[in-house]
Structure 1
Amino acid sequence: MPFGLLKYGLSRRYPAEPHFSAGKSLKSHYDVVIIGAGAHGAGMAYYLAKYHGITNVALLDKAYLGGGNSARNTAVIRSNYLTETGVNFYKESARLYQDLSNEFGYNIMHEQRGQLTLAHNDTTLRNFRWRAEIGKHLGTNIEMVDRQTIKELAPELNLSENVRFPILAGLWHADGATARHDAIVWGYTKGACERGVELHQLTEVEDFTIENGRVTEVKTNRGKISCGCVVQAVAGHSSLIAAKAGIRLPIQTYPLQAMVTQNYKPLLTPHVSSPQLKVFTHQTSRGEFVIGSGADDYPLYSSRATLERKEMLASAIIELFPFLQHAQILRQWGGIADVTPDYSPIMGLSPLKNYYLNAGWGTYGFKAAPVSAKTMAECVATGKPPALIEDFALERFYRFKQVNEVGATAEVH
């Protein structure tokens, strides 16, 4: 290894091959145009090329690769949901995550550390029993745990009864994990570009040409592209892009904020969350504590961070982990979450014949990236949504068949 680094450093030419396709002019036509080069968009490009042989694909981003919500999330992976549809979907995603490093030949820093969700009242306990039974029935590693087990899982957690909301019990999800969000985007894009997909950054979609119920052209700030089909995967901007195609989505967009502390020695293994206190945290491999919450209370297309949210997160996390009252906050950031009424995504076909939707992820987007990308690639290649995502169709809002995951969201992330 030292000799390899020395050779690398003294080389007159840059010896490493570029991970992504070099910047080039847009072609006049692509079989598939994917709007949004985050984990979902890059993953779709990868699976289209690898499993379906579709390589005449343009992966567009108005800014830079993975610069949207993929770079602004807290990297949590879990499958402890409320509905059969949700559990099966996110369970498959957690399974795919486990082998992505081997598939990419690229370390995504996947760590299966488990998730501990805390109950402070009887209502939450009933919700946990429901989720535990659903999860067990569908084959996930999930169970209710008592205070003693909670102490063993997270010894630094404050189990005192002299607090606002004493901890009564917990929901332990052993399949819970984390991964490096940037590495997911890089790995997918690298694999896609190696197979012929073109990455185009700083390419903003401005409008569409629609004829006979089909998108025939994508108009960008760099010119027009004729296309076979279009897929949108733009997270918080989902309703805005869809509106350019004449599609109205039942989505509202909210800011979503988080922050990280200074480094500590390793002392917390699981991801810990409290719906009552509206806070969650886990310690990264670098020693930082990532601290976050649910979306802000009002719609806004802004990724700003606020003092109000920082104060709320600080007071809540100190109740769970009192030693963090001395922690320095290194940085705070925000993203924008596209939230549907039932807090489940919108995937698959749209009212336009060749326009596909990948939207409405709320705070669930990162944990669903592999399974979303894989199933959407199949949907685009075959023109038919796979069984795993049929229930996420836009039509469910007109047929009153929502997939209600509201109770599995927010502070459990």
Structure 2
Amino acid sequence: MNQQLTQEQKLSWKMTQKMSQAIEMLTYNGMELNRFLEDQVSDNPLIHIKPQDTSFASGAIQPELHRSERSVHQYLHDQLLHISIPSNLKSAVEYGIDSIHDDGYLDLSLQEWQEACKINEEETYKLLEILQSLEPAGIGARTLQECITLQLQRQHAPLYVTQIIQENLQDVAEQNLEAISAKYECTIQEAEDAISLIQSCHPRPALQVAPVKQDYIVPDAKIYKDAGQWRFELSSFNQPSISIEESLLNLNTHDTQAKAYIHEKYQHAEWIQTAILKRTINFSKVLEQIVNRQSPFFEKGYPAMRPLRMREIADEADIHVSTVSRAVKNKFVQTPQGIVSLKEFFQTGLQAKGGEETSSQSIKQLIKETIQTESQEKPYSDQALSDRLHREFGIYISRRTVAKYREALHIPSSSKRKKKGSLTT
């Protein structure tokens, strides 16, 4: 009885491990998947990776290779070039960036930051806000809860989801759906979705920027127009395939241990083949929906980007929202507008003419472009920007929301723009 229980426990553990690996494989981009398969080859003599390249079959757009050799600190410093920061605080921001640990967490207290840079408490919190607004989401966090909260806020997650991670990390770890549902007055399905969303966040955000072995970012797919229709094509590098050496199955030996070993490796190789196929199918489902819904962006760029939520893609493709989240993670596509992170296609929206919605990314772009063409003597106030968006684009947006988006773009107020005569200080 005990022996049978032990065997069942081992089988259950193997099944759980395989499910976990299959879920993780969906988050891999092409380069990460290839590295994973290389590790499998070294451990399984039956697996062979079929040769592939980084090209696309149709040749409509040649993929670009982007070097990604910068450290996370250099990556963050580069972002400061596009942000308006008072000159007396710039060195303090740079000090904060240099204090970021390799995993993305802030490696000093606010008190230490304040004393080291001789700034006051209000300035320190302002600098923390700037630091935590940089990419990737979660950078500059001081705790795991704060790291995940920053990522959830960037995804515009419901308030109760951020409350769950801040107040009930243990329930999330144990996936205690009943306790979460009862405490936050949500359904079991909503509790499950909340946990999936939380689990899709990266606990060490800096690792998304500069993986040790990753020298290039290769687009995982390209989106192009053919005969008047927008289509997508996966890079062969994104969908590697394996072959299985079946001759070893007929190995003439009486060694039962060797036979059992080969049988186990064969089953594992078959499972990897199936997992790769499932990954390709789910990734293709998500891409198909993005292509269908974001065609204006491919034609006209960011101002035409439509609001889109992962839940909409999940419902249309008949997959779980967590599958969508994993499918777009760390992946890029080549488009007529350049190489774009798949996560950029998911934006919240505001109501425009005819009840349609316009994405927050599009509105930010319109605000930025409007300010760039304004008179330096008479820059637009937030209310004037609100009125102009309503009058010219039919977008209904409050003065307060304009201010929020303007600040997110790190553009000074109209009075400061008039004083400085530019977008930056």
Q: Per the shorter chain, which TM-score range?
A: under 0.3
* Greater relative contact order structure (CA < 8 Å, 6+ sep): 1
- Which is helix-richer, 1 or 2? 2
TM-score calculated relative to the size of structure 1 = 0.23
- Which is strand-richer, 1 or 2? 1
TM-score calculated relative to the size of structure 2 = 0.23
Larger Rg: 2
